[in-house]
Amino acid sequence: MKHQNKFYRFFAFLGVVLVASFWTSCKVEPIFDPNNPSVGGITQNASLGEIQNLVDGTEATMRTDIGFYYDGVSVIGREYYRFSTSDPRFTSDLLGKGNAVLDNNTFYTTNPFDARYRVVKNANILIEALTNTTAAMTEEQRKAGIAYAKTVKAHELLMVLNEQYENGVRIDVANPDNLGPFLSKDESLNAIQGLLDEANTDLKNNAASFPFNTTLYSNVASEFSKFNRALAARVAIYRKDWTLASTALTESFLNLTGDLSNGVYLLYSTAGGDLLNPLYFPQNSSGETRVAQPSFITDAETGDTRLNKTPKRIASETQDGLTSLYDFFVYKTNVASIPVIRNEELVLIYAEVSAQLGNTTNATTAINRVRSAASLGNYSGATDLNSLITEILKQRRYALYGEGHRWIDMRRYDRLNQLPIDRPGDDVWSKFPRPATEL
């Protein structure tokens, strides 16, 4: 089910103020306003309207500071440059220029970390509200709604872990006065996988609709399970659990012959109070802009139509010793949707899992599906595991360009040293530092 073009206006959750720096206090404070409900009132006996507001607020917050997340992983992953005349740290700290290192107390570290945990906190409030409410809903609807919240939590925790990597993340943050420990990277991945699996138990084979509306895939639990399993497949390949990944794919919305753009998206609009896509800059912008890392163009195969994501500029843009003649133009308008996960990624996960399990025929079939969509001929290279993975990583680079995968992909295959060095002495970081408020 494609929601890329579906318009939905997000409503802010007015009963709760999410603190600007979540981890500074790790608390959600009530607004003392008689016209708006308190946190305690909502968690003890929420109305259906209040539950809907919680869902809308949670999905709206999924977009908060998302631009900082993508700039961080994409610049370090050498997908594009983020040029900013007002902040040189995009081209110094993130690229390891000279003696520059990543700062544990600045926007590119703290903003994405805090924002994702705000969503987790909202999801925890939603779980508590659904658990305790006496509003009219069946038990199957209640279970499905809680499973929805757990699925969203898992996605947001994975985004934190993508940046923190070996630092690990806190999984248990339900009680702000008694936070759980930071788990190791592997423990964190296992816990996220477990959270998805736990949620899916109450989603699969559940014909009930959620007791609220969501913009994330479907309002029907059994259909939403396909989104959950898509995320589970992503987590499973990060864990190198190829068998689990294969099973999750069969239960997801994977469609080898279907629309590659089908999937789950974060939505934007020009409606009052809504947000615009933070990754959009008009072509040929100057000063504040994103431009393609030049090797994306020079490494491409002749005829690859995915180069339309990096149109040639009228004139090159230069900053801090870096130059590009090509714009980063994945998102064509300021209301373009940003994918959470889509079918093309699932096809490439299928190719990767097939290669890892020794099924080269299925692997090449999936590779060729993606190549054909880019107007390229069939893959003609070797079919040993290393060669197939190299090709799959290349297709992921071009198919999922600007969607936050390149750095993570190269890291999980120990290939960070293959990313281009932009200037002599630059570094390729393997993780962001743990925020200063957590030390």
CA angle centred on 205, ends 200 and 210, rounded to 5°: 70
Whether pLDDT at 133 is above 80: yes
256 part of a folded domain: yes
Whether pLDDT at 33 is above 70: no
Give pLDDT, residue 176: 85
Whether pLDDT at 120 is above 60: yes
Q: Three-class SS string for the chain?
A: CCCCCCCCCCCCCCCEEECCCHHHHCCEEECCCCCCCCHHHHHHHCCHHHHHHHHHHHHHHCCCCHHHHHHHHHHHCCCEEEECCCCHHHCCCCCCCCCCCCCCCCHHHHHHHHHHHHHHHHHHHHHHHHHHCCCCCCHHHHHHHHHHHHHHHHHHHHHHHHHHHHHCCECCCCCCCCCCCECCHHHHHHHHHHHHHHHHHCCCCCCCECCCCCCCCCCEHHHHHHHHHHHHHHHHHHCCCHHHHHHHHHCCCCCCCCCCCCEEEECCCCCCCCCCCCCCCCCCCCCCEEEECCHHHHCCCCCCHHHHHCCEEEEEEEECCEEEEEECCCCCCCCCCEEEEEHHHHHHHHHHHHHHCCCHHHHHHHHHHHHHHCCCCCCCCCCCHHHHHHHHHHHHHHHCCCCCCHHHHHHHCCCHHHCCCCCCCCCCCCCCCCCHHHC
Whether pLDDT at 13 is above 70: no
pTM, whole model, 2 decimals?
0.92
Whether pLDDT at 5 is above 70: no
260 part of a folded domain: yes
Q: How confident is the model at residue 38 (pLDDT cuts 50, 70, 90)?
A: low
Whether pLDDT at 36 is above 50: no
Instruction: Quote the domain boundaries for residue 111.
Output: 16-273+336-421
Give pLDDT, residue 16: 42
Q: Average pLDDT for residues 316-345, to the nearest whole number?
A: 97
Whether pLDDT at 26 is above 70: no
pLDDT digits (tens, 9 = 90+) for 160-175: 999 999 999 999 999 8
327 part of a folded domain: no
299 part of a folded domain: no
pLDDT digits (tens, 9 = 90+) for 358-390: 999 999 999 999 999 999 999 999 999 999 999
Give pLDDT, residue 439: 79
89 part of a folded domain: yes
Give pLDDT, residue 6: 36
Q: How many domains does the chain have?
A: 1
Relative to beta strand 16-18, strand 28-30 is antiparallel
**CATH assignment at residue 158:** 1.25.40.390
pLDDT digits (tens, 9 = 90+) for 44-74: 889 999 999 999 999 999 999 999 999 999 9
Q: How confident is the model at residue 177 (pLDDT cuts 50, 70, 90)?
A: confident
63 part of a folded domain: yes
Phi, psi of 317 (to 5 degrees): -115, 135
Cβ–Cβ < 8 Å for 10, 60: yes
Q: Average pLDDT for residues 307-335, to the nearest whole number?
A: 97
Q: Average pLDDT for residues 272-284, to the nearest whole number?
A: 95
pLDDT digits (tens, 9 = 90+) for 201-229: 999 999 999 999 999 999 999 999 999 99
Q: How confident is the model at residue 273 (pLDDT cuts 50, 70, 90)?
A: confident
181 part of a folded domain: yes
Give pLDDT, residue 39: 67
Q: Average pLDDT for residues 119-130, to the nearest whole number?
A: 96
Q: How confident is the model at residue 17 (pLDDT cuts 50, 70, 90)?
A: very low
Percent of the chain residues topping a pLDDT of 70: 91
Q: How confident is the model at residue 30 (pLDDT cuts 50, 70, 90)?
A: very low
Percent of the chain residues topping a pLDDT of 90: 88
**Mean pLDDT for the chain overall:** 92
437 part of a folded domain: no
Q: Which residue has the tokens 């009228």?
A: 314
Cβ–Cβ < 8 Å for 192, 153: no
pLDDT digits (tens, 9 = 90+) for 72-113: 999 999 999 999 999 999 999 999 999 999 999 999 999 999
Give pLDDT, residue 20: 33
